[in-house]
A = this chain, B = another copy of it.
Amino acid sequence: MTSLLTRPNGKMLVSRDNKQKTTRIKVKGCTIGGEQIIVIAGPCAVESEDILKETAFKVRGSGASMLRGGAYKPRTSPYSFQGLGQEGLKILARIGEEMNMPVVTEVMDSSDISLVSEYADILQVGARNMHNFSLLRKLGRIDKPVVLKRGMAATIEEWLLAAEYILEGGNTRVILCERGIRTSERWTRNTLDLSAVALVKELSHLPVLVDPSHGTGIRSLVLPMAKAAVAAGADGIMIEVHPNPEKALSDGEQSLTPKGFSLMMRELDVFAQATGRRI
């Protein structure tokens, strides 16, 4: 497999053969890829300042390091809630500042990169855009870390090559995120592929996150899959949290309540320790 991770003049930039140590990505006092397992939490979409503030306050209290929330939402139907756009970015930045948490948010279009960069500490490429090579190339030229989610049917090789697009442009601060692939299973929203995490950690020096919320689509599976992700070697997890999941404008059935999140954090700690790390 590693033999595939080559480029014309040597090993690929993402290859661990090129760089033995896991890349550490520092953002406002947090380090992804270090000893600490980073927890990024927040609602699927930024819906209002109040909801985000309440969520941020509570997840920070339970130990989350970073805040997530979508301002631009890639929705299957054009008639679904599409996110608040720039207004959402402003709210996210404001709450992040107030709570002293770095913020992660998705960029869906190359023409939005500079706008999103003004507000976000980390830019996220969603699963639906993993093969949007134009977007990847342009993210290779910015000075912000990028979370690159695995595409819905992307092979591990394609995922690493998508990351290579960004590194090749000069931006070495790429964080991979496994969020489940589409299979013939019907009861879970996706099939979370934790072996991909273990394999990518072996092949590449890039840090790897896991998103058990999208990866399963079922609230009760978030905790066991978060534990399993940590056990498989993930450098962090992304969790959807909403104060009132039944009323969430998107992804309610996979969101934890702040209380469920708090419970998860307590249970997760012992698994982090079992891997010689900490939450």
The interface of chain A, by Cβ under 8 A from chain B, is: 1, 7-8, 72, 74-79, 108-112, 128-129, 131-135, 137, 152-153, 155-158, 161, 164-165, 168, 181-188, 191-199, 201-202, 215-216, 218, 220-221, 224-225, 227-233, 270-271, 273-275
Expressed in whole angstroms, the minimum distance between the Cβ of A6 and any Cβ of chain B is: 9
- CB pair B182–A195 under 8 Å, yes or no, is no
Expressed in whole angstroms, the minimum distance between the Cβ of A161 and any Cβ of chain B is: 5
Q: From the candidates B78, B128, B168, B231, name the one contacting A224 in the complex (CB within 8 A).
A: B231
Known contacts A74-B131, A224-B233; A196/B202 CB under 8 A = no
Chain B residues within 8 Å of A270, by CB: 274
- CB pair B202–A220 under 8 Å, yes or no, is yes
Chain B residues within 8 Å of A197, by CB: 224
Q: How many copies does the complex hold?
A: 4
- CB pair B228–A194 under 8 Å, yes or no, is yes
- Alpha-carbon distance between A30 and B78 when the two chains are bound, in angstroms: 30
Chain B residues within 8 Å of A75, by CB: 133
- Alpha-carbon distance between A193 and B227 when the two chains are bound, in angstroms: 14
Q: From the candidates B78, B202, B220, B274, name the one contacting A274 in the complex (CB within 8 A).
A: B274
- 30 A-B pairs with CB atoms under 8 Å apart are A7-B79, A76-B157, A76-B161, A77-B164, A78-B133, A78-B161, A78-B165, A110-B111, A111-B111, A111-B134, A153-B184, A155-B184, A157-B187, A183-B183, A183-B184, A184-B184, A187-B199, A188-B199, A191-B195, A192-B193, A192-B195, A194-B228, A198-B220, A198-B224, A199-B221, A202-B220, A202-B221, A228-B228, A231-B271, A270-B274
Chain B residues within 8 Å of A273, by CB: 274
Q: From the candidates B153, B156, B188, name the one contacting A195 in the complex (CB within 8 A).
A: B188
